Structure 1
């Protein structure tokens, strides 16, 4: 992948909802975390092809709140590039853990995170039922619980 650039979104830039909505169901849900997150864009020289939002949960932990890749770039290693960048940012800022949450019905996402060194560490019961105004379905199943996965960063 040549000509890719990874950069933080400037504070005066427009929030890339069109990308963030690829990984989250509503603008309202995104607004719950986006204004306190650091947003990063991956650009291919022509357009923004991916987004990642990182949220500091404590002095030792940072959470990936959103990570999305446009359709035409999926299954080309872009997600793994973003995971590598997230780990670099976390290490550079002296975090000990990087966490992410995904739906209990997001089988492909869970496999992706596990492939990138994350392990399942918890469940937020009924997260998608309590935090969204309508039922959301993925893989033919209603999303209920959030699966939490953690990557412990080397010292």
Structure 2
């Protein structure tokens, strides 16, 4: 598997991105501002993440997705590790990520990768998405904010 930055001339894997975030408007917004990285096997994109600078010392993974048929094979963890390494190597002190309160698997994965919960944006999904999101039989209402410290001051 190869992880690389998506070239400006390439179209982003919108189907994958929309699997992780159902709002085309939100996805388009952070695609314009962020850097997109893809995981490939045999020239097929099987994973993606979008990284965006948030503050002088931090970046945020705005979207991360792995093709359904490739989930459970450690690809998500490799994408997260790539984001951590890229962020650290570019001099940022923190990497952030947010996920829904109903995203049980993602919450576990991010914590296994070293992220810690730093806050909750209550009713984020109710305010920002026109349609209700139900995941794992749970109403997705709140954004769980997580962070990993990469460089101490």
TM norm structure 1 = 0.94
Q: Aligned-residue CA RMSD in angstroms?
A: 1.0
Residue 134 of structure 1: how far off its partner (Å)? 1.2
Residues 36-75 of structure 1, C-alpha deviation per residue, up to 9 Å, x if partnerless? 0100000001410000100100110000000000011111
Q: Return 5+ residue gaps in structure 2 as ranges.
A: none
Residue 83 of structure 1: how far off its partner (Å)? 1.1
Partner of 1:75: 72
Aligned partners of 2:92 and 2:151 also within 8 Å: no
The alignment partner of 2:125 has SS state of helix
- Does 1:139 find its partner at 2:99? no
Aligned partners of 1:55 and 1:62 also within 8 Å: yes
Structure showing the higher helix proportion among its residues = 2
Which of residues 112, 115, 123 is equivalent to 2:112?
Answer: 115
Query: Relative to structure 2, which stretch is displaced further, 14-23 or 143-152?
Result: 14-23
Partner of 1:27: 24
Q: How many residues align?
A: 152
Residues 66-99 of structure 1, C-alpha deviation per residue, up to 9 Å, x if partnerless? 0000011111110111111001110111000000
Residue 131 of structure 1: how far off its partner (Å)? 0.4
Q: 1:49-64 residue pairs with structure 2 within 5 A?
A: 49-64=46-61
TM norm structure 2 = 0.95
Aligned partners of 2:125 and 2:142 also within 8 Å: yes
Q: Return 5+ residue gaps in structure 1 as ranges.
A: none
Which of residues 78, 87, 91 is equivalent to 2:88?
Answer: 91
Matched residues in 1 for 2:149 and 2:25: separation? 30
Which of residues 27, 41, 50 is equivalent to 2:38?
Answer: 41
